[in-house]
Amino acid sequence: MKGGDRLSRVYTMVFDVIGDDRGSLIALEQRGDIPFDIKRVYYMYGTTPGTKRGFHAHIDLEQVAVCVSGHCVIDVEHQSGTESYRLDSPDKALYMGGLVWREIRDFSEDCVLMVLASDCYSEADYIRDYDVFSDRLAKDFHGA
């Protein structure tokens, strides 16, 4: 399959902030703010200094990642190339859909990285071997 309806897409999102003199509030609703039905939410925190996480891709999963506290950097490789995104504000998020290799680094001590996902946890949706990911990306999107 060359592309087809399989996703390999990454883009940044900026959430609306409801703020007043008491502080700020962000509300996320599926389909409105988040472009999929949210079936799972998980978050990483207490990440030890120097730790890198991720090092995998998903086959079909869509995710939106946001640092609700602190900051980190997500390096991605997907259909359109490689990019790095710094998430450093609760209103700044990264959408990742389908075949996207991701590595997460430079977690601040106070980082809480929340991820909204389009499906429940399934190890069968993971690709954890970079060479397998790279071959699949070439085959699906670049006609190799």
Residues 39-68 that bind ligand TYD (CB under 6 A): 40, 42, 53-56
The residues annotated as belonging to the active site are 56
- Per-position b or e across 94-103, b if 16+ CB within 10 A of its CB: bbbbbbbbbb
Strands 92-98 and 8-14: antiparallel
What is the smallest separation between the CB atom of 34 and ligand TYD, expressed in angstroms? Answer: 16
Asked if 9 is part of the footprint of ligand TYD (rule: CB under 6 A), the reply reads: no
Residues 73-132 that bind ligand TYD (CB under 6 A): 121
- Rounded distance between C-alpha atoms, residue 100 and residue 5, angstroms: 15
Tokens at 21, concatenated: 């003199």
What is the smallest separation between the CB atom of 102 and ligand TYD, expressed in angstroms? Answer: 8
DSSP symbols for 74-141: EEEEETTEEEEEEE-STTEEEEEEES-EEEEE---TT-EEEEEESS---GGGEE--HHHHHHHHHHHH
- Rounded distance between C-alpha atoms, residue 110 and residue 129, angstroms: 30
* Residue 44 C-alpha from the chain's centroid: 12
Query: Which spans of this chain sit near ligand TYD (rule: CB under 6 A)?
Result: 40, 42, 53-56, 121
